[in-house]
Amino acid sequence: MASFLWTLCLSALFLAPGVISAPPKRPIDVPFGRNYVPTWAFDHIKYFNGGSEIQLVLDKYTGTGFQSKGSYLFGHFSMHIKMVPGDSAGTVTAFYLSSQNSEHDEIDFEFLGNRTGQPYILQTNVYTGGKGDKEQRIYLWFDPTKEFHTYSVLWNMYQIVFLVDDVPIRVFKNSKDLGVRFPFNQPMKIYSSLWNADDWATRGGLEKTDWSKAPFIASYKGFHVDGCEVSVNAKFCETQGKRWWDQKAFQDLDAYQYRRLRWVRQKYTIYNYCNDRARFPTPSPECKRDRDI
Ligand SMILES: *[C@@H]1O[C@H](CO)[C@@H](O)[C@H](O)[C@H]1NC(C)=O
């Protein structure tokens, strides 16, 4: 930590303005209360270690959730989450960014629970201007209920990258040139929640939540936010183009990251809206880029 701070100071002193040192490899963990507040059912959130770890509780009365205090245009947002252990069928744990207006933008991680020993599904989605329908689904290469894993979003003018333990599992490129809207001018808050969705979540809704197994508990820590904070109505960001997530190295994945993404594609992907011809006879234009991966 000390040496990291030193690097920061030295870069600030000796680098020309606009030249940014590499981002912290390990984002700094902050207590929950610094950046986040509960959204609803406050009594269903439990706090540990002075707020450095929390648990969301779902029972037959209600689920719960929290949101960031600030709104952000671009940045890097991550969370360590341990999913509901045991029988989690019917439950959904979500981590997402969303703007607050009617034609909203949204970047989603949704973790669909399952019966004991059966695999979770991670569904991702992107909404632009209120329109979603861009789901992808994967199985994870580990059991997400055993340990904390890191789920993060990198969002800049060039791309939105979904990462699991630093492995890119999805890239949504800015395809404005192909006529596709890209989230760029609506600040988003970060949200997380745990709720009952047994009408669709597990095996398409066939597996129902077993309330005799309640309460269902998802655990969180490392509430990291590194974004450009703006008011809800702001359309631009003062630091745009200047912070680490805007720099060249983050405008595209590198060769190693593409290899890892292809590995996720080949071994773990179970659904991709780009390949669903029954639902979309004409795939959305950005799917052209998706196929090149
Ligand atoms: C749950 O397990 C079943 C059986 O292994 C599997 O088909 C399904 O994809 C799993 N996940 C969800 C969320 O339904």
Between CA 145 and CA 217 the distance in angstroms is 10
> Has 135 been annotated as catalytic?
no
Task: State how beta strands 106-112 and 121-127 pair.
Answer: antiparallel
CA of 159 to the centre of ligand 1 (A): 30
Give the atom of ligand 1 at the shortest distance from the alpha carbon of 89.
13
Q: Indicate the domain borders of the chain.
A: 26-286
Which of 202, 206, 207, 269 to mutate to test ligand 1, by most ligand atoms within 8 A of the CB atom?
Answer: 202
| Distance from C-alpha of 138 to C-alpha of 265, rounded to nearest angstrom | 8
CA of 118 to the centre of ligand 1 (A): 6
Closest Cα to atom 4 of ligand 1? 118
Which residues does a 6 A CB cutoff place in the pocket of ligand 1?
112, 114, 118-119, 121, 202-203
Residue 229 annotated among the catalytic residues of the structure: no
One of 53, 110, 229, 286 is an active-site residue; which one?
110
- Token pair 């002193």 is at which residue? 13
From the CB of residue 146, how many other CB atoms can be counted at a distance below 10 Å? 10
Q: Given this model, what pLDDT does residue 5 score?
A: 42
**Encoded amino acid at 66, one letter:** F
Q: How many CB atoms lie within 10 A of CB 234?
A: 16
Residue-by-residue pLDDT tens, the chain, 293 positions: 444 444 444 344 344 444 445 666 678 888 999 999 999 999 999 999 999 999 999 999 999 999 999 999 999 999 999 999 999 999 999 999 999 988 999 999 999 999 999 999 999 999 999 999 999 999 999 999 999 999 999 999 999 999 999 999 999 999 999 999 999 999 999 999 999 999 999 999 999 999 999 999 999 999 999 999 998 888 888 888 889 999 999 999 999 999 999 999 999 999 999 999 999 999 999 999 988 88
| Domain over 26-286 is classified CATH 3.10.580.10 | no
* pTM summary value: 0.91
Q: What are 218's strand-pairing partners?
A: 56
Query: Nearest CA to 79 among 30, 34, 137, 123?
Result: 30
For residue range 109-128, what is the model confidence (pLDDT) as tens digits? 999 999 999 999 999 999 99
